[in-house]
């Protein structure tokens, strides 16, 4: 799919849409205006003018409020047989809301797919809050005709639908129990186990695990690894699971409650980089310091860690390596192969945020 040029933008947009119909890239119904405008990288006013022209020339049905336009002209059979050589990236978060490390991974994947003459297109449909997203997903998948999909931070309903419909896809993350889809992710269970074991080797017997209030399988895997490490420890170890609601205020409230427990934690395992920043600022406001008053390990990495003193002990994974694994997985999926789970082991960086308890 080419993008419309700036010259005669309305006419060029109409021609691009006609070509998408001729090639079979879109079928039966036109995608929604917001989605189509984002794909073509144009404003919705320009798109609406182009669509009005296509209605007049008989390519599309007249638009009605709340209904998608029907495609009235069909692709030739020869063109329709040609695959799109496009991959869709399905996410509950907008591109600008993703963490920098994930944006870097997507950029690497775009470049690697482009070298194989594939494009990667990003979508954030309003389906992730639906308990029964099937009809909306069917419209989306049927209209776009991608060769494969990447499901990022997808909930169980979305994963289950793709699995049931046998749509070529891979989960960028972990599949839910009972959902048979190929997946690629960091081995969070092994990472959690290592982090808890490290803190216990440093003498910590009361450990906090901070987790956002979301149902992502990677978080459950990390918690399982931490719990396994605690269960295998010699002697008593107290584990505090701290669930926070995704804001700095919620993290601060959780920290306050945790520190007033009968056996408060002497070390914390964070699952999000924002938790690290809130923890540091909250402790500073209470005249507490890391690691003197609290040791800290982060299961994830953010570039801002490089500017912090002391350095944060954390786990990191080269994003180009993950992207390369994702492209290989996609190639296997499109061939009907590689339907397994692929787990990657991150590197551990020991910073100055961990000290021996009592030292």
- 241: Cβ–Cβ under 8 A, 6 or more apart, which residues? 208, 209, 211, 223
Alpha helices in 240-300 (DSSP H): 248-259, 273-285
Instruction: Using the CB atoms, write b or e for 235-268: b if 16+ within 10 Å.
Output: eebbbbebebeeeeeebbebbeebbeeeeebbbb
What was the pLDDT predicted at 239? 94
What was the pLDDT predicted at 268? 97
Tell me the mean pLDDT in the region 284-293: 94
3-state secondary structure of 5: coil
Mean pLDDT, the chain, integer = 89
- Name the residue with higher pLDDT: 26 or 191: 191
Please determine whether the domains at 9-79 and 82-185+322-344 fall in the same fold group of CATH: no
First-to-last CA distance in the chain? 62
Strand order in the sheet with 206-212: 238-244, 206-212, 267-270, 295-298, 313-316, 347-349
Cis peptide before 29 (omega within 30 of 0): no
Neighbours of 281 (CB within 10 A): 12
- 176: Cβ–Cβ under 8 A, 6 or more apart, which residues? 156, 159, 160, 217
Tell me the mean pLDDT in the region 183-188: 97
* Percent of the chain residues topping a pLDDT of 70: 95
- Give the pLDDT band of residue 14 (cuts 50, 70, 90): confident
Distance in angstroms (rounded) separating the CA atoms of residues 103 and 80: 33
- 232: Cβ–Cβ under 8 A, 6 or more apart, which residues? none
Listed by start position, the domains of the chain span 9-79, 82-185+322-344, 188-317
Q: Is 66 a residue whose pLDDT tops 50? A: yes
**Pair 162, 138: CB distance under 8 Å:** no
Most confident of 206-215, 257-266, 290-299: 290-299
Tell me the mean pLDDT in the region 321-345: 92
Distance in angstroms (rounded) separating the CA atoms of residues 290 and 309: 9
- Give the pLDDT band of residue 344 (cuts 50, 70, 90): very high
What was the pLDDT predicted at 338? 73
Q: Is 4 a residue whose pLDDT tops 70? A: no
Token pair recorded at residue 243: 């669930």
Q: Is 17 a residue whose pLDDT tops 70? A: yes
CATH fold of 82-185+322-344: Rossmann fold (3.40.50)
- Residue position matching structure tokens 């008593």: 236
Lowest-pLDDT choice from 121-125, 169-173, 220-224, 348-352: 121-125
Neighbours of 158 (CB within 10 A): 25
What was the pLDDT predicted at 81? 45
188-317 classified as CATH 2.160.10.10:
no
* Percent of the chain residues topping a pLDDT of 90: 60
**Pair 173, 159: CB distance under 8 Å:** no
Tell me the mean pLDDT in the region 111-123: 92
What was the pLDDT predicted at 12? 82
What was the pLDDT predicted at 80? 45
What was the pLDDT predicted at 227? 96
Q: Is 82 a residue whose pLDDT tops 50? A: no
- Name the residue with higher pLDDT: 109 or 18: 109
Nearest to 327, CA basis, from 84, 145, 141, 150: 150
- Residue position matching structure tokens 């100055």: 352
CA angle 45, 50, 56 (to 5 degrees): 130
What was the pLDDT predicted at 6? 46
What was the pLDDT predicted at 130? 85
Q: Is the pTM of this model over 0.85?
A: no
3-state secondary structure of 206: strand
Q: Is 79 a residue whose pLDDT tops 70? A: no
CATH fold of 9-79: Arc Repressor Mutant, subunit A (1.10.10)
Nearest to 118, CA basis, from 148, 81, 143, 162: 148
Tell me the mean pLDDT in the region 236-258: 88
**CA separation (Å) from 177 to 92, 129, 131, 180?**
20, 20, 17, 8
- Give the pLDDT band of residue 75 (cuts 50, 70, 90): low
């Amino acid at each position: 799919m080419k993008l419309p040029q700036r010259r005669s933008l309305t006419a060029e947009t109409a021609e691009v849409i006609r070509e998408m119909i001729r090639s079979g890239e879109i079928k039966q119904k036109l995608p929604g205006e917001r989605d189509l405008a984002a794909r073509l990288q144009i404003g919705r006013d320009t798109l609406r003018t182009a669509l009005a022209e296509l209605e007049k020339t008989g390519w599309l049905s007249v638009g009605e409020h709340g209904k998608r336009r029907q495609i009235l002209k069909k692709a030739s059979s020869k063109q329709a047989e040609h695959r799109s050589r496009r991959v869709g990236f399905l996410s509950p978060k907008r591109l600008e809301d993703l963490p920098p490390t994930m944006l870097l991974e997507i950029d690497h994947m775009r470049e690697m797919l482009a070298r194989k003459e594939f494009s990667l297109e990003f979508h954030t449909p309003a389906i992730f809050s639906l308990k029964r997203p099937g009809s909306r997903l069917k419209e989306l998948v049927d209209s776009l005709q991608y060769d494969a999909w990447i499901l990022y931070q997808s909930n169980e309903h979305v994963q289950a639908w793709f699995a049931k419909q046998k749509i070529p896809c891979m989960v960028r993350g972990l599949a839910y129990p009972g959902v048979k889809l190929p997946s690629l992710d960091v081995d969070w269970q092994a990472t959690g186990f290592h982090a808890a074991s490290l803190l216990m080797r440093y003498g910590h017997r009361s450990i906090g695990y901070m987790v956002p209030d979301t149902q992502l399988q990677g978080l459950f895997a990390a918690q399982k690894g931490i719990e396994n490490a605690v269960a295998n420890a010699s002697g008593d170890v107290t584990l505090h699971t701290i669930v926070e609601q995704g804001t700095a205020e919620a993290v601060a409230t959780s920290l306050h409650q945790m520190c007033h427990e009968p056996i408060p934690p002497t070390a914390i395992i964070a699952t999000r980089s924002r938790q690290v920043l809130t923890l540091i600022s909250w402790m500073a406001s209470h005249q507490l310091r890391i690691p003197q008053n609290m040791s800290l390990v982060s299961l994830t990495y953010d570039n801002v860690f490089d500017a912090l003193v002391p350095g944060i002990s954390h786990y990191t994974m080269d994003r180009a390596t993950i992207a390369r694994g994702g492209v290989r997985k996609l190639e296997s999926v499109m061939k009907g192969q590689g339907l397994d789970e692929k787990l990657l082991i991150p590197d551990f960086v020991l910073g100055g945020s961990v000290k021996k308890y009592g030292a």
